Structures are given as C-alpha cells and as structure tokens.
Amino acid sequence: MVISRYVCLFTLYSVIGWIYETLYCTARTGKWANRGFLFGPACPIYGTGAVAIILVVGLADSSGIVMLPWQIFVISVIGSAVLEYSTSWTLERIFHAVWWDYKHYPFNINGRVSLFTSLGFGGAGLLVVYILAPYTEKLMEYLTPLSAECLSLVFVFLFAVDITLTVTVLYHFDKMVIRMEENFNQNMDLLVDGATNRTNRIKQEIADTKYHVEEQISALTNLTRTTIRRAYFFRDSNKKRESLKNQILSVINKATGRSDFSEDSK
C-alpha cells in the first residue's frame, strides 16, 4: 500500500509538473510547447522531486524533528540542483540531446543547473509541502488499498510503454544521424582526391547530399518528429553540423584554389 501510494503521488506530481512546464513555455514563446521527455503528459523529474521532499519531511516528522520552512527551502534548492544536473548529464550521455539549457542564466553550471532555477525549485518545495501535499494526502485517503494497487499498476504500465517508445525513437534517430554523417564523410573523401578541376561537380554532389538529408528528415514519422522536437537541441549534432560545414568549405577552397571562401561568398 505504501509503495502504491507513492507511485500515485509520483504520477500526480509528474502531471502537475508537465502542466506547469507546458503553460509556462507556451506563454513565454507564444506558441504551443508540449514539454517533457516522454510522449505522455508527465514530467517525471517533477514527480521525483516532489515525492522526495515529501519523504524527507515525513521521515523527519516520524523521528520527532520539526523542519522549519528555511530548512525545507535549502533542501529543495540543493536537491533540485543535484536532480537536474544528474538527469541532464544522463540524458545527454545516452541520447546526445539536451531538454533544457540554462547557459543564458547567470551562475549556471554547464547549462544544466542555475542559481535562478534552483531557487525557484526551492520555492516549489515549500509550495508542495505546505499547500499541495495536504490536499494530495487527503486525496490518497479516498483510495482503498485495492484501488491504489490497481492505479499504481496502471501508471507503471503506462510509464513503461511511454519510456520504451521514447527511448526507441531517440535511439534510431541518433543512429540515423551517425549513419548520414559517415556516408557524407565517405563521399567527401572521394571528392577531395580529384577536386581541383571539378568545382561544379563538387557543388552538385554537395547539393545532392543536402537533398538526401532533407529526404531522410522528411521521411521521419510524426512520432519521431514529436520526440525530437521536445529536445531543446542536439548538442553533438550541432558540433557535427559545424564539422560538416567546415569540410564542405575546405573542399571548395581546394577546388577553387582559394582560401577565403565562405558561405557569404556563395
């Protein structure tokens, strides 16, 4: 019953976090922003943070320790920073993608966490403990042990399906990007060998490669596009794109005998 209860709370706060993220980003950008790592309307990082602070306060109360608001705030600030940084690092290592970037905020650490956002999550911790938690606790009291077990099983199943779909899509997309880059590099190596007198042919090959990449992107399913769109950007893809651009300019420079060729001179 205890585990089922916290699974239900985790799901509830994940949905609340998704609603907040979506409304905030939609209002800021002026267009619909379906936020989150998963397809479904849930941001697990919010559910994890909320359940964690509820557990900490609950354990303190059961031990006879009364936590003051400033203590809850500090724990929320530090805990959210650790959670955000570790989550961002893990997602980037696995999928080479970034779902948030705080580099434009002052006092940030590698764009993964910032003082401003961590303080905001500190306030969110107070909001959860003193305002939301009392209502969610009462809501859990209406659930019988059997209904809580059934709901938790349904939520676990839905999260498992969603995570599987998301991971599969991102994995195949990453492989597709790597495959296209390898094919492009092979073609560029062949062109470099006799590039001096074949400027027009090189330009045509570059155009053909661009068309092929556009075809690959247009062939992506709606499911794949939705998942990719949710990522803030693909950090490694940006580096690869810059690398490819430099290779193209290098080949054209060799073919034309110039060293000052740039995109603006096309």
Q: Crossing angle for the helix pair 235-256 and 145-193, nearest 10 degrees?
A: 10
Which amino acid is it at 238? N
Higher confidence at residue 151 or residue 215?
A: 151
Q: Crossing angle for the helix pair 2-29 and 133-141, nearest 10 degrees?
A: 140
Least confident of 65-74, 78-87, 105-114, 257-266: 257-266
Strand, helix or coil for residue 233: strand
Continuous H helices in the chain? 2-29, 44-62, 69-95, 115-127, 133-141, 145-193, 199-218, 222-230, 235-256
Q: If you search the block for the tokens 């556009």, which residue do you land on?
A: 214
Q: Using CA of residue 118, residue 82, residue 163, residue 3, what is the dihedral sign?
A: negative
Which amino acid is it at 230? R
Q: Which residue in 209, 134, 140, 35 sits closest to 217, CA to CA?
A: 209
Give the rounded percent of residues in the chain with a pLDDT score beyond 90: 39
pLDDT for position 237:
46
| Mean pLDDT on 80-86 | 96
Contact 199, 256 (CB under 8 A): yes
Rounded Cα distance between 9 and 42, Å, is 12
- Can you give the pTM of this predicted structure? 0.72
* Average confidence score pLDDT of the chain: 78
Q: Please report which confidence band the pLDDT of residue 261 belongs to, taking 50, 70 and 90 as the band edges.
A: very low
> Between vectors from CA 156 to CA 86 and to CA 160, what angle results, nearest 5°?
65
Out of 125-139, 157-171, 204-218, the most confident range is 125-139
Higher confidence at residue 207 or residue 239?
A: 207
Rounded Cα distance between 55 and 157, Å, is 23
Q: Which residue in 105, 236, 120 sits closest to 170, CA to CA?
A: 236
Q: Using CA of residue 28, residue 33, residue 35, residue 37, what is the dihedral sign?
A: negative
Q: Which residue in 70, 221, 52 sits closest to 133, CA to CA?
A: 52
Rounded Cα distance between 81 and 88, Å, is 11
Rounded Cα distance between 205 and 211, Å, is 10
